[in-house]
Amino acid sequence: MQTVLVAGGAGFIGSHLCKALAEDYNIICVDNLITGDKKNIEELLSNHNFQFIEEDITKLNSEFRIQNSKLDYIFHLASPASPNAKSPRSYINYPIETLLVNSVGTYNLLELAQKTKARFLYASSSEVYGDPSISPQREDYFGNVNPNGPRSVYDEAKRFGEAMVMAFVRKFNLDARIVRIFNTYGPSMQKDDGRVISNFINQALEGRQITIYGDGSQTRSFCYIDDMVLGLKKAIFKEGLKGEVVNLGNPSEKTIKETALMVKDMLKSASEIVYHELPEDDPKRRNPDIEKAKRLLDWEPQVSFDKGLAETISYFKSL
């Protein structure tokens, strides 16, 4: 069996990925659990081919490097990812950790990939486009990013991470790929992560006010987790994609207000919709152009927003 290292494997996307790989690969899941949660991987802990290492990838020691000298693939999904300052898990509350895990952490994992000859995938983000002046966003758009605003700790960290990956591709001919993940949702999202989908569903379920930031005219395009995991697998396992940068997301664009109304309606909730101040630098539009993913990966999302929301609602109800 080949061996896959998943950094950030106890996070929302990472844990779903570990589960999807568990039958076919040896998995080494690395996570420092600052925003991830061991509960996400509980069912995998008894698998003989699954190993969890609680470790910070910005501080990989030589023992770790020696113990993990036989790797075939490395996924780098380790990073806080929520922009919501009110959430204890947000990158706003872990600014230094976010900058370091995407810079030093990326460097450490790339070095490990180089030594072990593993293929590498970096989870970048639609945030590299900042508050985009074009929509949909295609991979060759350079973005519109505030270099030192509150979101910069994530946006600039992901941009630096991409530059570091490409440096290893160009200088050492490493087989590394970059995916830019757009908003993703589904079961096992954390209830307190402050993301719009988890907030709206839990507010509606508990009869609390549904909080729209700004006037709700800003858009996002939500990708269901199962579609995302398939995209990630294709992006690393397909041959001939060295140095490629590919958007992964669902192109179906919704305003935040539409999203609030949909959640409220699906739950037949009596919650009042209230409007709060829009956070600084909140992107007005976000919508992936996925032509490249279709062409290179033969991938496009299959799960409708209705179906995905229903699954996510059932999950939160079950907690």
Which CB, 14 or 130, lies closer to ligand UDP? 130
Peptide bond into 301 cis (omega under 30): no
Contact with ligand UDP (CB under 6 A) among 16, 19, 158, 220: 220
Contact with ligand UDP (CB under 6 A) among 128, 212, 248, 303: 212
Residue with tokens 């508050």: 131
199 near ligand UDP (CB under 6 A): yes
36 near ligand UDP (CB under 6 A): no
141 is catalytic: no
Q: Round to whole Å and give the CA distance between 64 and 201.
A: 40
Under 8 Å between Cβ of 224 and 250:
yes
Under 8 Å between Cβ of 73 and 113:
no
Under 8 Å between Cβ of 278 and 217:
no
124 near ligand UDP (CB under 6 A): no
CB atoms within 10 A of CB 185: 23
Residue span binding ligand UDP (CB under 6 A) among the ranges 131-139, 190-198, 238-246, 308-316: 190-198
Which CB, 72 or 282, lies closer to ligand UDP? 282
> Would you put residue 162 in left (φ > 0), alpha (ψ -120 to 50) or beta?
alpha
254 near ligand UDP (CB under 6 A): no
153 near ligand UDP (CB under 6 A): no
Q: How far is the CB of 200 from ligand UDP (least distance, A)?
A: 7
213 near ligand UDP (CB under 6 A): yes
Residue-wise over 260-291: b if at least 16 C-beta within 10 A, else e? bbebbeebebebebeeeebeebebebbbbbbe
Q: Round to whole Å and give the CA distance between 10 and 35.
A: 9
Which CB, 234 or 286, lies closer to ligand UDP? 286
Which candidate in 94, 122, 129, 154 is catalytic? 154
Cα-Cα-Cα-Cα dihedral sign, residues 248, 123, 38, 95: negative
Which CB, 243 or 251, lies closer to ligand UDP? 251
Residue span binding ligand UDP (CB under 6 A) among the ranges 6-14, 57-65, 80-88, 247-255: 80-88
285 near ligand UDP (CB under 6 A): no
Which of the residues are catalytic? 154
